[in-house]
Every structure is written in structure tokens, then in C-alpha cells.
Amino acid sequence: MEASVPVSTPFVVKHELFSSQSPQTEARKYAYRSYVNNMHYLSLVGLLLFAIQIRPNIQYTVSIIAKFGANPSIAYLETVKCILRYLKGTADYHLTLRRCRERSFDLVGWSSSNWAQDMSNHRSTSSFVFDVAGSSVI
């Protein structure tokens, strides 16, 4: 990963991950084990879950890949690598919280939903963002 090329987004648009991509046969499981070469999928996902605290912009993508921890595939691992390349390319990005100069502050909230877009189990994905005193909180 040291020589990897940084990317501008943590997840490729229109790139879909399904539970049917998980290896079902012994041949596909062997191909996955050969491909990973001592990379532990759940350890990488755990690292990214921790990174969400300081990089909330990867929250959606990490929540997608975390669903496949029981039986990961090469496609899922490639998505994890894409997130890591994104973090490498945006290492100087940071979350800035501003001090509220007024006595009162506004609380504004937004939400987004993706109703039954997961084709494998027809579950929905939702997210929210709140703006507190001019700073976003996810």
C-alpha cells in the first residue's frame, strides 16, 4: 500500500457490493485466501471503524464493507483498499469546528435514505448530518 496511487473518492460510484459476491465454493475461498496474503479483513474494517471518529466522510463506505465481515471476498477487500488509498490521498484533510460567537446557536439536521437498494436482502441504508453552530456533526 505504500506505493499505491491515491484516489479522490472512498467508493466508486455505481460500484455495488452484494452478499452473493462472498465466496461460496471451496475454490473461491481458496482464491480469496491466496489473494489476501496475510491481510486480515476484519482488522482492516476495525481500523476504518476507528478512523470514522476523525474522518466522518468515510462513514457510509465503511458501513457498507462492515456488513461483509463474516465471509469477505476479493471485491470487498478491493473496496477496503480503495478507502485506504483515499485516506492516503486526503491525509491533510481535517474537521474544523468553529467557536460560536453568539449566545445562541442553530441546530439544523439533514437525513438521507436509500430505500431497499441492497439487492441481496432489500434493506435500506440511511444517514444523517447535524449542523451545530456552523459545524457539521455526523
HEC secondary structure over 18-86: CHHHCCCCHHHHHHHHHHHCCCCHHHHHHHHHHHCCCCHHHHHHHHHHHCCCCCCCHHHHHHHHHHHHH
CB atoms within 10 A of CB 108: 10
User: Quick one: 135 and 109 in the same domain?
Assistant: yes
User: Quick one: 33 and 57 in the same domain?
Assistant: yes
Its pTM surpasses 0.85 = no
Length of the chain measured in residues: 138
What's the confidence (pLDDT) of residue 98? 65
Q: Which domain holds residue 132?
A: 96-138
Task: Give 25-77 pLDDT, tens digit per residue.
Answer: 898 888 888 888 888 889 999 999 999 888 888 888 898 888 888 888 888 88
Q: How many domains does the chain have?
A: 2
